[in-house]
Amino acid sequence: MKKAILSAKGLCKSFAHNGVQTHVITNVDVEFYEGDFTIVMGASGSGKSTMLYSLSGMDRPTGGEVFYKGENIASMSEKKLAELRHQDFGFIFQQMHLISNLTLFENVAVPGYLNKEKSTADVKKRAEMLLKRMGLGEVMTHLPSQVSGGQQQRCAIARSIINEPGLLFADEPTGALNRKNTTEVLDLLTDLNREGQSIIMVTHDMRAALRASRVVYIEDGKVVGDLKLSEYLPEEESKREKQVSSWLNSMGW
């Protein structure tokens, strides 16, 4: 049986504006498992990003509990939560948020330098290894503005795993990429997952869903569908496409 790495119980997130409450996430119970590549899908505005932020400690839920490796992060102190986000979680977004006046190498290494458990030399070695692995060996000393969007996103992926996170969160990481760069990013994430990286990724992209071991479907801030998939094999992609797309259709996608 798979081991839960992150679980939410009665998760709620509301926003208050001018005295009016908007309930975006309403009483969600959900578990995510170690080693899974979980994709979260749902219509635009269904609450995917809001849920991801509440689950990952980027934002505080307004109700419920979120357990990471048994600890309730919903009620953790700011200091402990910041440490957890830094040491145990990795993040990738649609916008890469690279620091514009640092080289790709520095962008990857800097979060590693803040990790007290690692020596500077070890961080540098890992940053270089990751950049090479992402196909960025030749452009490590370039600034973000000197490389393509796809290269920037691969750099952001390298940065997100510099501290060997227990869990990687991604919000539409291919949303701003063309087809070729999307495939490259999905290949990288699939490889990382095969090596054991647990991933929770929000996406609009069916092609991303094909890589998943599980697809969770969100509607109006609730989990309404949960599809478990076998291991992704490129040679079986068209068969998988049929399975996933007919399931998505049944969800009203």
Ligand X SMILES: Nc1ncnc2c1ncn2[C@@H]1O[C@H](COP(=O)(O)OP(=O)(O)O)[C@@H](O)[C@H]1O
| Binding-site ranges for ligand X (CB under 6 A) | 15, 22, 24, 42, 44-50
Query: Residue 148 binds which one of Mg ion, ligand X, none, with CB within 5 to 8 A depending on kind?
Result: none
The reply on whether position 50 binds Mg ion by CB under 5 A is no
Number of residues located near Mg ion, criterion CB under 5 A:
1
- φ and ψ at residue 112, rounded to 5 degrees: -70, -40
Query: Residue 57 binds which one of Mg ion, ligand X, none, with CB within 5 to 8 A depending on kind?
Result: none
198-202 and 222-228 strand pairing: unpaired
Query: Residue 159 binds which one of Mg ion, ligand X, none, with CB within 5 to 8 A depending on kind?
Result: none
Query: Residue 197 binds which one of Mg ion, ligand X, none, with CB within 5 to 8 A depending on kind?
Result: none
In angstroms, give the least distance from the CB of 48 to Mg ion.
5
Task: Give the nearer residue to Mg ion in terms of CB position, either 105 or 217.
Answer: 217
Task: Give the nearer residue to ligand X in terms of CB position, either 48 or 154.
Answer: 48
The reply on whether position 181 binds Mg ion by CB under 5 A is no
CA–CA gap between residue 223 and residue 243 (Å, rounded)? 20
Bridge partners, 215 (sequence order) = 39, 227
Q: Would you tell me how many other CB atoms lie within 10 Å of the CB of residue 104?
A: 27
Query: Residue 45 binds which one of ligand X, Mg ion, none, with CB within 5 to 8 A depending on kind?
Result: ligand X
In angstroms, give the least distance from the CB of 132 to Mg ion.
32
167-171 and 89-93 strand pairing: parallel
CA–CA gap between residue 65 and residue 50 (Å, rounded)? 15
Q: Which amino acid is at 126?
A: R
Q: Which of 91, 98, 94 is nearest to 203 (CA)?
A: 94
What is the gyration radius of the CA atoms in the chain, in angstroms? 18
In angstroms, give the least distance from the CB of 239 to ligand X.
28
In angstroms, give the least distance from the CB of 90 to ligand X.
19
Query: Residue 230 binds which one of ligand X, Mg ion, none, with CB within 5 to 8 A depending on kind?
Result: none
Going from the C-alpha of 171 to that of each of 94, 168, 240, the distances in angstroms are 6, 10, 23
CA–CA gap between residue 105 and residue 111 (Å, rounded)? 11
The reply on whether position 56 binds Mg ion by CB under 5 A is no
In angstroms, give the least distance from the CB of 159 to Mg ion.
21
In angstroms, give the least distance from the CB of 49 to Mg ion.
3
Task: Give the nearer residue to ligand X in terms of CB position, either 24 or 158.
Answer: 24
State the burial class of residue 109 (Cβ atoms within 10 Å of its Cβ: 0-12, 13-18, 19+).
buried
Task: Give the nearer residue to ligand X in terms of CB position, either 49 or 182.
Answer: 49
The reply on whether position 49 binds Mg ion by CB under 5 A is yes
Q: Which residues contact 103 (CB under 8 A, 6 or more apart)?
A: 140, 141, 142, 143
Interacting residues with Mg ion (CB under 5 A) = 49
